Amino acid sequence: MFKKLITESMGKSPWLFHINAGSCNGCDIELVAVLTPRYDAERLGFKLSGSPRQADIVVVTGPVTKQSLPRVLRAISQVPEPRVIVTMGSCPQSGNVFRGSYSIAGPLSKYVDVDVDIAGCAPKPEAIIDGLALAMKILSDKRAAMYKARKVKPAAAEPAASAEAVSEEPVSDVSADPSPDTAVNPEGGAD
């Protein structure tokens, strides 16, 4: 029962963090179009995050330039694990028409593991929604694998605490033991 509750509580609406690595804004406009009421990606649970620290999925657009590369990698490193990295458009995947330029650092996959590539210049909103749905599936698989890896087996060999080892001092932290007055009702709201 508790395993099911923990597994379900790990699932949440994936938050997107968008990184523009130097694009022409074609992909950026299409990403915003996906989030508007016409295509309504929010019905699938996607929300834009203003900070990489609250994001689950990173969407990178534009060719990765030598100037933007350290900033892109720093922003990606701030996204907590498990995270999914999505490249959107041809530029972060190959450099597109900018490949071979003196200012292009190369495809993003040269520096980090990319989970989903959404092809196109600029990709259609339908392709973006499909790519984000695939990213959401990959994210849930990564969360399940992380949960299994963190699963701790109960230590049966540990001796129980003896009466002499227990401290007689009162506990000053009341947040660990909520009083019945502040218990929260499962339907929401306080009792």
Task: Let me know if residue 88 belongs to a domain.
Answer: yes
pLDDT digits (tens, 9 = 90+) for 25-58: 888 888 888 888 888 888 888 888 888 888 889 9
In a domain, 143, yes or no: no
pLDDT computed for residue 102 by the predictor: 84
Distances (CA, A) of 49 to 15, 52, 79, 141: 6, 7, 11, 21
82: in domain: yes
**Number of domains present in the structure of the chain:** 1
User: pTM of the full predicted structure?
Assistant: 0.70
For the chain, list residues with pLDDT below 50. Answer: 153-191
Report DSSP state, residue 109: G
Pairwise CA distance, residues 8 & 117, whole Å: 28
* Cβ-based neighbours of 178, under 8 Å, separated by 6 or more: none
Confidence at residue 28, expressed as pLDDT on a 0 to 100 scale: 84
**Residue 160 belongs to a domain:** no
Cα–Cα distance for residue pair 15/94, rounded to 1 Å: 26
